[in-house]
Amino acid sequence: MDLSRIRAVLFDLDGTLVDSAPDLARAVDGVLGELGYPAAGEAMVRDWVGEGARRLLSRAITRTERYEPPAETLDHALARFFELYGQQLYRDSRPYPGVIPTLRKLAADGYRLAVVTNKPRRFAQPILEAMGVADAVPVVVGGECTPVRKPDPAPLRLALERLGATPEEALMVGDSAIDVAAARNLGIPVVCVPYGYSRGVDPADLGADAVLSGFGELAVLLRGMGRGVGEAP
């Protein structure tokens, strides 16, 4: 994997930069309780995150992948979830170790950074602000910003356009098969973190070009295989 041309780094959010499962689970269980369904709990919610809120709520209500609840029920549950989650986006969520200093380091080195998430942008942006890294990550592409979501490459392509970068200069960092597939569909390299919401799949089996030992290794990897932006070859 040659990273010498990398100038832009795209990051997934949930499970990659921040452990948001506690706050997601609280909102999910609030909705389930209002609808008369049993609570799911944080452990189950962790296994369902990654394909957008609608899929999350569908799984929480039906406890299966095979079918969705009636559209009216799901629409109501989704609207209520957005209300509850929006009230406490960052109460118990926490950045993973090494995320904040690494993002700041990469930005200081001149890398152009973006978050590409299936979460709505109106939730993703405040989380980055609460983490104190919104200035280091100026571009946020949420699930509603393109007609299709990851693993389609359209959100990644939009992020690169807003960063003023090309796919040849880009690297994707994620935690799931969805992130790997999105990167492959755009033809860019991808590395995975060793934690996150991979739905029980070992990160080593996701098909990424590399699995980091920890988030902080990303800066080392880029410096070792490439060079800081603006440095002479």
Catalytic center residues? 12
* Residues 202/193, Cβ–Cβ less than 8 Å: no
Bridging pattern class, strands 94-95 and 18-19: antiparallel
Tokens of 145: 């910003």
State which amino acid sits at residue 210: A
Q: What is the DSSP string of 1-57?
A: ---TT--EEEE--BTTTEE-HHHHHHHHHHHHHHHTPPP--HHHHHHHTTS-HHHHH
d(CA 7, CA 228): 9
- How many CB atoms sit inside 10 A of residue 101's CB? 14
Cα 31 to chain centroid, rounded? 23
Burial of residue 88 (CB within 10 Å: 0-12, 13-18, 19+) is middle
**DSSP 8-state code for residue 167:** G
* Residues 152/182, Cβ–Cβ less than 8 Å: yes
